[in-house]
Every structure is written in structure tokens, then in C-alpha cells.
Chain A
Amino acid sequence: MTKSRTLPLSKRGMNFETLMWYFTRLSALAMYALILFALIGGLVMGARNQMNFADVMRWAFMPNSTHVQSTDVPDLAPWATYFWRAVASLLLFVASAHGVHGLVVIADDYIAGSTGRKIVRLLSIVMLASITVIGAYVLWTS
């Protein structure tokens, strides 16, 4: 097998794209931490006899109390606290920043013209930024 040429991370140049490259990977790890944390919350909440698999998954991927309204968990008040809203908001912000960059990368790959790329780039950023604000509003008012 031919040996692949690699450059240590410390010897690579730093610009915005490199920074976003790092961000995409590190935010993936952050989401792993947040989702596993929320998953533990879901297991504590009532996975043994009050929630089914889909309920636990809904809570794990976004710990918002309206996500588990339809379960048999007797009291949801301890799960609608500032703490869990903050966890959910953090997950929302990290995920949407990761997602905006993903959309921009995909647009760059499939749209060859520079004007089209700029338009789709701007649309992706505006769309996901506004969705993040709306999402945060829903999280803190539900």
C-alpha cells in the first residue's frame, strides 16, 4: 500500500475555511457529548416503563419538554427547567452552526457559477440563522 502524505495539523495554514473545518469536527464531538448527556436524562426520566424508544430518542436529540408530552411520565416540571432549556439551546446553536456550514459546503460542490454560489450561500445563512432564533424562542416559551 502506498503511504498517504499527511501534514501535521500544526503545520497547516489558518484561515476562515480551516477554522470552519475544525469547527465542523469539534462541534460533532460537542453534539456527541450533549446528546449522550440528554440520553442519560431520558433514561432517568422514565425509559424503564413510561417511555418508548421513539420518546427517549426525541428527548435525546432535543431535550425540550414538549417532545415528551405524549409519554406516561407523571411530572414533566423537573424536565422543563432553565437547565434543560439551556442544554437544548446549546444543542440547537451548535447543530445549526454545523448545519449552516454543511449547507454551504454542499452548495459549493454542486453550484459552479460564483453568483449562484453567493446567492445560495446567503440564503442558507439567512435561513438557518432565522430558524435558530425561532427555535430558541420556541424552546424558551413552550
Chain B
Amino acid sequence: MGLSRNVSLWTGLRYKGQGPYLTFILHRVGGLGMGIFVTMHILVSFLGGSVGTFLNDVYKHWAFQIFIFFCALFHAINGLRITILDLFPKLIEHEHEAIWIEWAIFLPVFGISALVIVMTALGG
């Protein structure tokens, strides 16, 4: 398979793919975020020690909780959208509408969750 690339990385980063591209890139960010978090978390729970305590404190922080919940929730909702559209290929014509529905579900669920996390952190 030919895998030569004829655009520079910078050109690639400036690619204006709009809605579907945003979900594509956030899906990667979310997946990598969870992958790195889970890998470190498992290693730390195995090794323990002062590094473990420090990392557990990071994981308990409300800002980190909001970040990792963003990763998990977006990856989950976007993944379900991809799964539905891919397993029923005829629906791909409605991709843009599906992405709007996805945001309509993601934003309120994530917003309320982030609010709850911050309120708990502030002792409410």
C-alpha cells in the first residue's frame, strides 16, 4: 500500500474539515487521553509508593476529573455515532445531522456533570 504523504504536517494541521473533522480530532484526543491515563493509573496502582500517591492526588483533582470525563464521554458518544452510521451504511447521508444530535446530547450531559464535579470540589 502506498503511504507517501504529499502535504506537510503544518498544512495537515490547518485542514478545515469543519464539523466532522472536529469530532474526528476530538475522538483521537479523547482516546489518547484515556489511553495515557489508564496506562499510568494501572502502573501506579501496581507500583504504589510516593509517585503513586502524587498521581492519585492528580487524578482526584476536579480539573483532571473534568478533563478525563470530557475524554470518556465524548469518545463514548462520538463512538456510538460512528458505530451506528458504520453498521447501517445508508445513514451516512445524515452524518451532519447525526453530529448535531451528538452535540445536543454531549453538551448538556457534560455541562451538568462538570457543574456537579466543581460543586462537589467546592464543598457544595
- A: residues with CB less than 8 A from B are 1, 3-4, 6-9, 25, 28-29, 31-32, 35, 52-54, 57, 61, 66, 95, 99, 102-103, 106, 108, 112, 114, 127-128, 131, 134-135, 137-138, 142
Contacts and interface: CB of A to CB of B under 8 A. Distances in A.
Given A52-B120, A114-B3, A99 B31 contact: yes
Contact of B3 (A29, A112, A127): A112
Contacts of B110: none
6 contacts: A25-B82, A25-B87, A53-B117, A106-B31, A128-B39, A138-B45
Contacts, number: 68
Given A4-B92, A52-B120, A99-B31, A32 B43 contact: no
Interface in B89-117: 89-90, 92-93, 113, 116-117
Q: Is the interface of B mostly helix, strand, loop or mixed?
A: helix
Contact of A54 (B65, B86, B87): B65
